[in-house]
């Protein structure tokens, strides 16, 4: 069997005296969606932030395609084609869609100046594909709706050919219609062979979108199961009790 796309092995991090993530291991294959579930403070976001470079892990190893990598900053993660869509959206509200899409990776012209026109043209292209209703290209993103903002964040990941996509509660701020749009997009990206980590509180949504779910509690991994093999109740009891009923059985 080929090496998994991502393998995080015995990863730990502590903040002060709190062991936020304690020797957690998890894998992700290409074309697979893995959901991370757990209470607030279970360590899901912290685990994923070590992969996206926002936090530096204390110990453990990360392998991408079987090769050991070091991720110390968001830039390192990007170099590994890891893109993250954060819960808080991570957009600069005062800038327009194109500036946000290319933030940190601006297109420049021959003189090294940022090329706004070219970035706007590229943004129009990708937006026509992701969200044809998107027209407010000149306004700062603070003037956009939740769904439009989310599509800017997603466009950022898609445009730069992410291989590994991390979505931290991508639908938390969205309406029904927009949530359906994100779900559709996840299926589409999956077909293109991306590996996706999905964090959510909504167990039912996770059962629909994910291939496998991983449950965390108090910084530890309770267990990882294929969604076909478990019921929603099984997952709930893993979240609440912190025990894997299948392992116990």
Partner 1 sequence: MSEPQTQTQSAPPKRSFLQTLEIDTRLLGMIGAFLLVALVFNVLTDGRFLTPRNIFNLTIQTASVAIMATGMVFVIVTRHIDLSVGAILAACSALMAMTQVRFLPGTLGLEIGHWAIPWIAIAAGLALGTLIGAFNGWLIGYQGIPAFIVTLGGFLVWRNVGWYQTGGQTIGPLDQTFMTFGGINGTLGGPLSWALGVLAILFTAFAIYNSRRTKVKHGFPVKPLWAEVTLAAIACGAIAGFIAILTHYSVPSRVVARDPARFGCEVAEGCTPVYGLPISVLLLIGVAAVMTVIARRTRFGRYIFATGGNPDAAELSGINTRMLTVKIFALMGALCALAAVVASSRLANHSNDLGTLDELRVIAAAVIGGTALSGGIGTIYGAILGALIMQSLQSGMAMVGVDAPLQNIVVGAVLVFAVFIDIQYRKRLGGK
| Residues within the interface to partner 1 (CB under 8 A) | 52, 54, 73-75, 78, 84, 86, 88-95, 99-100, 103-106, 108, 112-114, 117-118, 120-121, 124-125, 128-129, 132-133, 135, 140, 142-143
For partner 1, the closer of residues 14 and 160 by Cβ is 160
Kindly report the number of other CB atoms within 10 A of residue 24's CB atom: 22
Q: Where are the beta strands (DSSP E) in the chain?
A: 6-15, 18-28, 33-37, 59-64, 67-69, 82-85, 164-168, 195-199, 212-217, 220-226
For partner 1, the closer of residues 90 and 207 by Cβ is 90
Q: Do 119 and 152 touch, CB atoms closer than 8 A?
A: no
Q: Following CA atoms 185, 186, 191, 197 in sequence, which dihedral angle do they give, to the nearest 10 degrees?
A: 150
**Closest separation between CB of residue 189 and partner 1, Å?**
14
Tokens of 119: 């970035």
Kindly report the number of other CB atoms within 10 A of residue 33's CB atom: 24
For partner 1, the closer of residues 46 and 100 by Cβ is 100
CA distance 115 to 109: 6
**Closest separation between CB of residue 80 and partner 1, Å?**
13
For partner 1, the closer of residues 3 and 92 by Cβ is 92
Q: How far is CA 6 from the centre of its chain?
A: 13
**Closest separation between CB of residue 163 and partner 1, Å?**
17
Q: Do 136 and 148 touch, CB atoms closer than 8 A?
A: yes
For partner 1, the closer of residues 84 and 200 by Cβ is 84
**Closest separation between CB of residue 158 and partner 1, Å?**
11
**Closest separation between CB of residue 132 and partner 1, Å?**
7
For partner 1, the closer of residues 121 and 240 by Cβ is 121
Residue entry with tokens 């830039």: 75
**Closest separation between CB of residue 39 and partner 1, Å?**
23
């Amino acid at each position: 069997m080929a090496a998994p796309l991502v393998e995080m092995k015995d990863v730990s991090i502590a903040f002060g005296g709190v062991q936020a993530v304690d020797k957690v291991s998890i894998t992700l294959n290409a074309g697979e969606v893995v959901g991370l579930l757990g209470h607030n403070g279970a360590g899901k976001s912290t685990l994923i932030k070590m992969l996206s470079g926002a936090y530096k892990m204390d110990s453990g190893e990360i392998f991408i395609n079987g090769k050991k990598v070091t991720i110390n900053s968001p830039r390192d993660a990007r170099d590994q084609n890891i893109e993250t869509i954060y819960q808080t959206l991570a957009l600069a509200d005062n800038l327009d869609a194109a500036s946000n899409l290319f933030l940190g990776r601006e297109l420049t012209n021959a003189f090294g100046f940022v090329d706004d026109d070219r970035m706007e043209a590229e943004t129009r292209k990708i937006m026509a594909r992701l969200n044809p209703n998107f027209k407010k290209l000149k306004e700062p993103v603070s003037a956009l709706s939740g769904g439009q903002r989310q599509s800017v964040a997603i466009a950022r990941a898609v445009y730069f050919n992410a291989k590994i996509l991390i979505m931290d509660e991508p639908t938390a701020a969205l309406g029904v219609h927009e949530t359906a749009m994100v779900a559709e997009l996840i299926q589409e990206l999956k077909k293109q062979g991306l590996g996706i980590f999905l964090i959510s509180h909504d167990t039912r949504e996770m059962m629909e979108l994910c291939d496998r779910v991983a449950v965390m509690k108090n910084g530890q991994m309770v267990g990882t199961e294929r969604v076909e093999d478990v019921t929603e109740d099984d997952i709930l009891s893993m979240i609440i009790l912190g025990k894997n009923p299948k392992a116990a059985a």
